[in-house]
Chains A and B, each alone.
Chain A
Amino acid sequence: MNLNLYDEFWFKVKIQSAKGVYGVECQIVYPPDILEAVLEEDGTVKTQMGTFLSQNNSLAMLNARLEDDKPGKIIIGLNKLGEATESAGAGSLFDVLFRCVGVGQGDIRFAQSHIYDAAIKAKPSQWTAVSVQVTGINIVSVDIVPRSIVRREIGVTLQA
């Protein structure tokens, strides 16, 4: 995925071929010299909850924070609440908003990532990394500045 400096994009995590899903935990590792996870005022990472875990009218809980508030690794927890029916099939889990803050190439990858059933037992899953290329803006005059922030989307699909 090619991006420009200062672009913002949603990193969209989707799931397919799933059954018996109660919750998801994962870590998103990214190159902090190139990308910045956009934060809310309270320090949480800006996210959007997907629809997959809301199947069967379930309530779900999503937390996303930088590990110990240091850039480079986002800790994510997403699960249903209480005694809820497990989800199955395909759908979107969550989105994370990133901003390009440096020029270069790097991967957004997953670590310590698991899918759990209602008994909180991990289920086999495959998680895919995404490569990001950020290109610079040539500054030819001090009068030239980015005029607008372009929001783009990057999707990654999780095979369960």
Chain B
Amino acid sequence: MHAQRSLVKPVAIALWTILVLRVTFTVDGGARLYAQMGNPLSVPATSMLRSAEVFDRGDHVFIYGKQTLKTYVYYRLSALPFREFQLHVEAAGDVTGAAPWPKIGIAFDDTIRIVKEVEISSAAFQTYDFGTFNPTGHASIYFVFTNDYFDAARNADVNLKIRQAVFTSTAASDTFVVKGRQLSLIWNPNREADLAGYKIYYGLQPGKYLTPITIGKDSTSHLFDVDAGYTYYFAVAAYDTARNQSALSPEIVAQVQPAMILANSDLNGDGKCDALDMQIFSRAFGSTCAGARYNNKADFNGDCKIDGQDQLLFSKNCK
């Protein structure tokens, strides 16, 4: 798709083509799936969610290595950044003694099944290449630190430092598989003095957009309500006070997962769905993960809220 261009302001228009569109998706419990088009995404370790035994140390996190049992110390990014990406991690091993060195493993779901492991052999920060991944369908990534103290050779403090992870898209275009009810588009701001605002183009077919949403120049994000089971296509353009418009950003695609149809409505596990299960569901209805009445068995779509959509899934499968 070609944007309108003005012959009187070629310089400004050329500058605007650097507009970069990012997108975040609200997923379970307010966690956010973060993505960025076009540029590598650098995530400082200090901004990640972390488990116990992981501490901030200035510009990096510090994983305390002295455990008495084999343990996994992990922390979790709030999202996978690209459909297909190459991952580099800047890390250092605060190692005493000789090899074997501590390792960082990568896992893409809550089972912490390590799909790639790299040995951290230097006390100075170095960049370690984890290779290319295409973990479509998962919403989390874990860096797993393994330190096995059953092994006498490792019975020493082998602390680990991680400074940042850099994700670089290797896909020609980016498609994000998401679940949840809302989606945030975030774009890098333009700096031109005569910037007037932005237009968000969206639609349900690639390159075919509905009437764009006009946003003022002070905003760099927009929140959408999305429906399960649909695929949305987005692009953003900037415009100036003379109504000249930039080229569109690269298109991004968000596939919103269908609601989970195969709900198990037998909430009390007695082999049938009946009035007792309805009572259990109704008691949890209207709660969120933060509420006292929350029952994860009744949260069929896993969005941390038990609401009308869960009730639909419950009812549909209560036969």
Which residues of A are at the interface with B, using a C-beta cutoff of 8 A? 22-27, 44, 61, 63-69, 74-83, 112, 114, 116, 120-122
Contacts and interface: CB of A to CB of B under 8 A. Distances in A.
Contacts of B151: none
Interface of B: 181, 225, 227-229, 259, 261, 278, 281-282, 285-288, 290-293, 305-313, 315-316, 318-319
Nearest to B226: A122
B315 A112 contact: no
Contacts of A81: 315, 318
Nearest to A81: B315
B285 A77 contact: yes
30 contacts: A22-B312, A23-B311, A24-B308, A26-B308, A27-B307, A61-B311, A63-B286, A63-B311, A65-B285, A65-B287, A68-B290, A68-B293, A74-B286, A75-B305, A76-B308, A77-B307, A77-B311, A78-B311, A81-B315, A82-B315, A82-B316, A82-B319, A112-B225, A112-B307, A114-B227, A114-B308, A116-B312, A120-B259, A120-B313, A122-B227
B316 A120 contact: yes
Given A82-B318, A114-B227, A120-B261, A25 B312 contact: yes
A120 B312 CA distance: 7
B286 A79 contact: no
A64 B310 CA distance: 13
A146 B155 CA distance: 78
A68 B286 contact: yes
Given A61-B311, A61-B315, A69 B285 contact: no
Contacts, number: 93
B229 A77 contact: no
Contacts of A27: 307
B229 A25 contact: no
Contacts of A74: 286
Nearest to B313: A120
Contact of B287 (A68, A82, A116, A120): A68
A67 B315 contact: no
Contacts of B287: 65, 67-68
A66 B286 contact: yes
B93 to A, nearest CB: 45
Classify the secondary structure of A's interface with B: strand
B282 A122 contact: no
Contacts of B290: 68
A75 B286 contact: yes
Given A61-B315, A82-B318, A82-B319, A68 B228 contact: no
The 6 closest A-B CB pairs, nearest first, are A25-B308, A65-B286, A77-B311, A77-B308, A68-B291, A75-B286
A23 B308 contact: yes
Given A82-B315, A112-B225, A67 B308 contact: no
A44 B318 CA distance: 22
B112 to A, nearest CB: 31
A61 to B, nearest CB: 6
B312 A75 contact: no
B225 A23 contact: no
Nearest to B259: A120
Contacts of B281: 63
Nearest to B228: A122
Given A68-B291, A120-B312, A122-B228, A61 B278 contact: yes
A112 B181 contact: yes
A112 B318 CA distance: 24
A23 B312 contact: yes
Contacts of B310: 77
Given A75-B306, A82-B316, 15 more contacts: A22-B312, A23-B311, A24-B308, A25-B311, A63-B281, A68-B286, A68-B290, A68-B293, A74-B286, A75-B305, A79-B312, A79-B315, A82-B318, A120-B261, A121-B229
A27 B305 CA distance: 12
Contact of B307 (A25, A116, A122): A25
Contacts of A83: 319
B47 to A, nearest CB: 28
A112 B319 CA distance: 27
Contacts of B278: 61
Given A23-B311, A61-B311, A112-B181, A67 B286 contact: yes
Given A77-B285, A78-B308, A23 B291 contact: no
Given A112-B181, A112-B225, A79 B308 contact: yes
